[in-house]
Amino acid sequence: MNPVQQSEEVGKSTLSYPSDWSIFSRHLTIIVLLVGLVFGVTLIRPVMTYVIMAAILVFILYYPVHKIETRTRLSHSAATAIIFGLYLVVGIVLFVFLVIPAIQGVVRLATELSMELPAFADFLEDYNPEQGWLLDPETGEKLINLDFALEPLSRYVQGEEVEEVNRAIDTLADLIPQVVGGVTNFITGSIVVHVMAFFFLLELPTLYTSLIGQISPQHRPEYQILTRRVILVWINFFRGTVASAALIATLSLIQFLIMGLPAALALSLMIFVTSLIPLVGGFIALPILIFVTFSQGSSTLGLEPIPLTILVLVIHFLISQFVWQVVYPKLTGKALNLPVSLVIVGLAAGAAIGGFLGVLLAAPTLGSVRQIVDFLIRKIRGGNPYPEESITNWQM
């Protein structure tokens, strides 16, 4: 052995390399990773809405993809392509047979209202305060004085406040390009969301395996149980919310058809969308429902506007309360059994952070946070956080 080889052998035997980081290095790395995570979220904030919508779509489509993958010999990629293709076909069919007729109903309603505008404008030109009273058709008794709303409109029509009229016209002129831009952004955003969702769905098993592989084998089962609990929160939320909203919309459609309200399908679809927001969503549709009922009346019931509007609202309120108080809790189970005050605070915070999407996802987010906090508290106390549960052949 030459001197160089001998010195290398001595160096190997005397030098030791510490493979583990010190506690300070670990803590510093965790802080850097958290700061990097916050910075990354800030960078993608302009497209965060698209990411969240794509994640929701992945969450909805993963279950049928997983079922096809496990019950057939198809690969995950092939199952994803099949389910995603079927989803696009069903979406196009629903758009053609439901959304387009609903849009036509809204256009028809707007056309009918526009045809009545000239007569209403003539009424405003010759308006006097005594005409503002809404009278009982049988007794002639004065019921409601609408002068507070009719008098300013009369001044606008008579041209007494030209500046306000010109300002309103300018606002309408500026609104047209905004509407066109909004439609363009909606189409572009939809394409981006679906492309992101498709690739997220393709890579989901690989991502889950990579994340769960970072956890030590002895702790892996409890994190799998936590993941399963959080997923069940979202499953129960979507199942309960969509089913309840569909039930309310269906019963409302039947009610509107029986009571002879115009644009019944458009109104029921609007109620379905607003009912996706727990607790307060139903109140969003009330102004439009009141306006349509009061202004258009019924084709089957010979009631005056006020009694008809009250009857429609009472029946709709009973339908909504039955679904939310009886049906919804049975569909969601205990996973979303949150205090009403906490849900309202969450809805307000969601609206401030993410607008409509934040309001929509506030309840399941609170339910997920509760599961995570419960897990952390159990870990702080020590021992197995889920002694009553076990993971048996469960995987993403």
What residue type is 373 in one-letter code?
V
Beta-bridge mates of residue 145:
133
How large a percentage of the chain has pLDDT more than 70? 76
pLDDT band of 137, cuts 50, 70, 90: low
pLDDT, position 170:
58
Torsions phi, psi of 142, nearest 5? -75, 125
Amino acid found at 280? V
- What are the boundaries of each domain within the chain? 47-214, 220-396
pLDDT the model gives residue 342: 75
Return d(Cα 58, Cα 61) in angstroms, integer.
5
Q: Shortest CA distance to 143 belongs to which of 286, 261, 294?
A: 294
**CA-CA-CA-CA dihedral for 163, 165, 169, 175, to nearest 10:** 100
What's the longest Cα–Cα distance across the chain? 122
pLDDT in tens, 176-225: 666 666 667 777 888 888 888 899 888 888 888 888 777 888 878 888 88
Helical spans, DSSP H, in the chain: 3-14, 23-43, 48-71, 76-94, 100-125, 147-157, 162-212, 220-259, 264-274, 281-284, 286-296, 305-322, 328-332, 340-360, 362-381
Distance set, CA 117 to CA 114, 122, 133, 151, 295 (Å) = 5, 9, 20, 16, 12
Q: What is the 3-state secondary structure (H, E, C) of 265-305?
A: HHHHHHHHHHCCCCCCHHHHCHHHHHHHHHHHCCCCCCCCH
pLDDT in tens, 239-273: 888 888 899 999 999 988 888 888 788 888 888 88
Tokens of 124: 């405003």
At 166 the pLDDT is: 56
